[in-house]
Amino acid sequence: METWRSAWERANLAFYSREKPADHFRTSTSYPDVIGPAFLSLLDAHTTSESLQIVDVGGGDGRLLSTMRAAWNESGRDPALLVCTLIDIRPTKTLDVTTLVGDARTCLTDAFPQGIHGLLIAHEWLDDIPCDVVEVDDEGARRLVLVDTETGRESLGPALSDPAVARDYGFDERGTEWLDMWWPIARTGSRAEVGITRNDAWQLCVNLVQEGLAIMVDYTHTRETRELRGSLTGYATGRRVPPVPDGHCNITAHVAVDALAAISPPAQRRVRSQREALAHIRLPEDPLARLRTEGRVATLRAANGLGNFTWLEHHAGPSARHVTMIS
């Protein structure tokens, strides 16, 4: 038995090293001809430099980044003024795109020592960052949840009230502080995914962007909407499955967006639903292309579907302007 955090890390590495996301999930990047221009419009609105970068973290097969590169070129702008970088644990061959293979957190740190001027995209990346899972036992103590990696069977491990023992399992005071601040569970049987690992990953992204913006798109929750038992689950071949951390399914959990938003000053952040973010998409003039795009936009904005994605933007540099926090 081991912590969910360590089992989850190894399981997703095995899954994504072997599987193509497009074979298992339909997501916003399945429609790059709509999402790509929407991201480019944000890049144009929040940068002033001629030479820019787009970094797609966990970018999969590169379709989104390739579409954005093509749109940039078709706009008549100099292709040499845009550098596109794809980061993923699975190698891919994408024209006009630099590919970095490995853990995204390490790749970001190593590849951009001078920071990023442009756009950093974290689309459904943070929900795959592993978390420790904590549950309240019958006596009201918060305890780490341990899991068998072959069967998914769980048991309760050490109590957080014994920090020395918890540290033996890789859980330290920062996790307890995050839990107290953002997900203070107390009811017997209630659970939480401790999002300090997601906070650290998003903090890295925010710190790297010197001009422009970092944008996170993901399924999320807030203090008011977190589920009693959390949101840890598995997905494979388009279906929700039990989260067995054996590498045969994607392990995921929704993201605590309020904790992430608090990393940025109010004047540099914006939170909104995808439904709102795509409310004013420019449609093609050609009737057939217009009809096709309208259908895709409707899918991306669908209530109880992809429209439920949350967009969290962090704006940085001289072009950063006041934006309204929308929850």
> For residue 222, is it within any domain?
yes
238 φ, ψ (degrees, to nearest 5): 80, 5
Question: Using an 8 Å Cβ cutoff, are 174 and 182 in contact?
Answer: no
User: d(Cα 231, Cα 250) in Å, to the nearest integer?
Assistant: 13
> For residue 321, is it within any domain?
no
> For residue 322, is it within any domain?
no
145 φ, ψ (degrees, to nearest 5): -95, 130
Domain co-membership, 234 together with 306: yes
Question: Using an 8 Å Cβ cutoff, are 172 and 166 in contact?
Answer: yes
- Which range of residues forms the domain containing residue 136? 132-193
> For residue 326, is it within any domain?
no
The whole-number pLDDT of residue 247 equals: 94
Domain co-membership, 59 together with 208: yes
Strand residue runs (E) in 78-138: 82-88, 98-101, 116-123, 132-136
Domain co-membership, 138 together with 69: no
First to last CA, the chain: 38
Q: What is residue 314's three-state secondary structure?
A: strand
pTM for the model stands at: 0.93
How many separate domains does the chain show?
2
The whole-number pLDDT of residue 213 equals: 97
Domain co-membership, 172 together with 305: no
Sheet of strand 209-218, all strands in order from the earlier edge strand to the far edge: 98-101, 82-88, 52-57, 116-123, 209-218, 310-316, 269-273
Domain co-membership, 219 together with 96: yes
Q: What is the pairing mode between strands 52-57 and 116-123?
A: parallel
Of 193, 221, 238, which residue is a domain's last? 193
Domain co-membership, 14 together with 123: yes
Domain co-membership, 49 together with 92: yes
93 φ, ψ (degrees, to nearest 5): -110, 115
Q: Please give the chain's pLDDT, 327 residues, in tens.
A: 999 999 999 999 999 888 776 666 678 888 999 999 999 999 999 999 989 999 999 998 899 999 999 999 999 999 999 999 999 998 887 777 899 999 999 999 999 999 999 999 999 999 999 999 999 999 999 999 999 999 999 999 999 999 898 899 999 999 999 999 999 999 999 999 999 999 999 999 999 999 999 999 999 999 999 999 999 999 988 889 999 999 999 999 999 999 999 999 999 999 999 999 999 888 888 899 899 999 999 999 999 889 899 999 999 987 665 443 333
Domain co-membership, 123 together with 236: yes
Domain co-membership, 266 together with 227: yes
The whole-number pLDDT of residue 301 equals: 95
Of 193, 210, 228, which residue is a domain's last? 193
